[in-house]
Amino acid sequence: MPWAHAQQRLERTTQLPVENVWLLYGTDAQLTDKWGLHLDGQIRRTRNVSFLRQNQVRVGVNYYLAPQATLAAGYSYLALYSADDAPTAIHAPEHRVYEQLVLQDNEGLVRVQHRYRLEQRRLVRPGESDPVYLNRMRYQLRLTMPLRGTEVKPGTPYATIADELLFNFGRNVVGGIFDQNRASLALGYQFTKATAVEMGYLNQLFPVGDTMQQRHIAQVSLSFNPDLRPATADGAAQR
């Protein structure tokens, strides 16, 4: 039975050690009350960090609708490496445009963030030679709680848990609309109001043929989100 085979395959993959590492950096710099810039980069390595799997750079513009709501749009460039002969062989790169809405609630003990993202992708599928256009939608729920005190502020350790669902839609979809699920758990430390670091685990679940497979990923991320708005006469940033 296909489902029994998928279950058996999934059980075997869950026994694999964490041999993938993602290194992430991200910044959201607020320039005015309404506008800001986004930049992030990722280095993804596999086989006990011996080989590159992917490098990614994303740039974007943020528009702050309200303290709890942010719109964004931008562009990503991804260099994808072969799983067999990395790091020397690179696939055709992926070009990606995205639009995003982030809603957040920072009141109370647990911070709640909802992220909705649409992506327009141009890439070459493995085993093919011609690029294709794909649409994808993503939804992430992220919960953050301080491990000391009642809020995440400078000098505070915290824990965060997140889950993200990714679906393909439109023309050129092959193998169903479900793309993958990413579930993560991390511990973080807020060094300053703008700077935080996180270390944790991510489980990536994705279909391969008629089976579901997993990757076990260690993540290390650094975020730097400065407020660059002009200061008022008393030295405080404008609000």
pLDDT per position as a tens digit, 88-117: 556 678 999 999 999 999 999 999 999 999
Q: Which long-range contacts (CB under 8 A, 24 or more apart) does 201-208 make?
A: 201/18, 202/22, 204/180, 205/180, 205/181, 206/179, 206/180, 206/181, 207/175, 207/176, 207/178, 207/180
Among the listed residues 87, 142, 133, the one whose alpha carbon sits nearest the alpha carbon of residue 112: 142
**Span 36-78, pLDDT tens digits:** 999 999 999 887 666 778 899 999 999 999 999 999 999 999 9
Whether 15 has a pLDDT exceeding 50, the answer reads no
Spatial neighbors of 69 by CB under 8 A, at least 6 apart, are 101, 102, 103, 104
Q: What is the pLDDT of residue 12?
A: 44
Q: What is the pLDDT of residue 231?
A: 79
Give domain status of residue 239, yes or no.
no
> pLDDT band for position 17 (50/70/90)?
low
pTM for the structure as a whole: 0.86
> pLDDT band for position 19 (50/70/90)?
confident
Give domain status of residue 233, yes or no.
no
> pLDDT band for position 83 (50/70/90)?
low
Give domain status of residue 49, yes or no.
yes
Whether 86 has a pLDDT exceeding 50, the answer reads no
The proportion of the chain whose per-residue pLDDT surpasses 90, expressed as a percent, equals 70
Q: 92: which DSSP letter?
A: P
In the chain, the number of structural domains is 1
Give domain status of residue 68, yes or no.
yes
**Span 183-200, pLDDT tens digits:** 999 999 999 999 999 999
CATH number of 194's domain? 2.40.160.40
Q: What is the pLDDT of residue 141?
A: 98
State the residue range of the domain holding 207. Answer: 2-224
Give domain status of residue 201, yes or no.
yes
> pLDDT band for position 124 (50/70/90)?
confident
Give domain status of residue 12, yes or no.
yes
Give domain status of residue 219, yes or no.
yes
Give domain status of residue 141, yes or no.
yes
